[in-house]
Every structure is written in structure tokens, then in C-alpha cells.
Structure 1
């Protein structure tokens, strides 16, 4: 599914984010930036060992050895990926929104988009952040992701923003959310 928002295309697709031919892809990272499971592990494997070295450098140089806080974002090169850049962001672990997980998830998308804009990226691909092992409900996550992206695009143009979804089920949830937002 594709739709236009103020001159930018939002596209939903089922696929492998490591194969996206966009200027940047977003990594649903853990705070250590050292790779992990799911999207994070797949991106690290596809990008090659240089990505791990770059993440260690970012952690040391930009974060003073500390973990990347939930909702924040940092950028590295893409190395062996088709994407020029990888934007790493840490999604919140779902605990019923008792720790402001919805705000933190919106921050993931907003901060990744702002970093992309700062680097003059024209196309970016996102996974469904925090909906895997962090257990954020996909229906809530889809609305937060799409609302944040649409709001950001009202003031900033990207050629293409792609939501790269892992399953048909997730795709259908995001499609329904996007259709509801467009209808408003």
C-alpha cells in the first residue's frame, strides 16, 4: 500500500528490512548497540562486522560508554547493506504504558526521522519497532508509528518512508491503521 502525505510517499510492505534500497534503514536496537535478536541481529549480520565496530565507537564517543536511552537515536554507515545509513533506536519494553511506553515509542520514530533529515536522507525504511520481543501491541504501535511519521512529514519532506513489516498479519494491522488515518 502507498499513500502521499504532503509530497512524501508512505509505503507499507512485507519484507526484509536488510534488503531495502533506501538511503537509511532503522534498526530496532537494544541499548548496548552490540546486536541482538530479531531485526537488530539481522541488520548486524547483513551489514558485516564493521557495523559492530562502528556501534562500539558510537557508544564510546557519543554516549560516553553508556547505553543508548530508550527513544533516542544514533546513526552509523550501512556498510554491506544496500542502505547508506543505519539509524539505531531503542524501543520501549511494553508494560501496559505504566512507564510512558507510548511516548517513548513515538520518540523512536520522531528522533530517527529528525536524524535522517539532519543527514539529508530522502528515503528511509522502518521496522515495526518494539513489537517483537519487547511485546508492544502491534495495533497500538502501528497508530503511534504512522501518526508520528505523518505529523513529521507535514513539516519535512522525504521522498519515501517505508514501513517494512515482518508478517502479513502486521501488514494488515498497519494497513488498517493507515486507511483509518487517511479517511479522517
Structure 2
């Protein structure tokens, strides 16, 4: 099973210049936007071209999304923000909210133990130590079988990826872990 060619247990970094469509790709994969062509399947289920209520239900069951903008509902406590996707999944949480909160700010995106984790610049505003902690959690999730796709400019995020996809002028190039230097050049 795959998402944008991302297999379960794999971490894929998507890089490219601003305006190349990286965030749009992530939004389409998450079912937040509709693709202009084709279909998006996550964990064997078509998520695209469905009513928003169905896409939201599928997101809650299969996808953890970490966007650049605020990911918390302001009227809920942080703990309740973490519990919300766990409850929406309809099954007992694999990792308790308190444990997730003690580990890093990725808690909400990881709360439903998703099959797929989609992250848009997850380390963009983190210091080096916190970035390493967050990337360690991402790799740990991938080792547990989660497909991880990270839209990033971070050299460290590219280094932990199994594969790097570069978007340029609407075209994707898959480096399949060619030299790290190519990925370093891509992020700038």
C-alpha cells in the first residue's frame, strides 16, 4: 500500500523551491484539497472525490496531519486536543495522551496512531535539539510501520528520509536515496 509512492514503514522527504506545489501535494494526500486529476488512496481506501464528512472520517482513521499552521483547537486543552483524534478513530489509543505530550509537539498528529503521517515543515521553527527529538519520533513511527511523508527544507529531515522526492515546475523526481549531497542541494 502506498501514498504518493510512500510505502508503510518508509520515510519520504519532499523538497523543492517555494511555490513548487509541496504543500498542495500534502493537502491533496490528506484529503484537505481535491487533486485536479487522479485519485488518492490511503491504506487501501480512496480518500479523494468524496464528501468532506467522509474524508474527515477517513483522516481520523488513517492519517495524522501536521500542518505549518496551528494544529490545536483553541477551546480545548492540549490534552483534549490529543484525545480528540484518538476518540475519532473509534478504537483505544495505542499510546496514551500523556505519554505523547511528554515526548514532543507532534502529539496531535500521532495521537490516532495513523497508518500515514503527513507533515508540512514539522521542524521549521524548532531548535536543533528539539528537531532531533521530533525526527526521532518520526523515524520511530516509520519503524512501527507508518508511512511518513515530510514536506521540508530541513537538511536533517532529508538525512533521516529513506527517499527524497524533489518537486520542480510541477514535476517530481524521485532520488531513491541517491547521494545525500543531491538532497542537500535541493534544500538549499
Same fold (TM over 0.5): no
- Which is higher, the Rg of structure 1 or of structure 2? 2
Q: TM-score range by the shorter chain?
A: 0.3 to 0.5
TM-score, normalised to structure 2, is 0.41
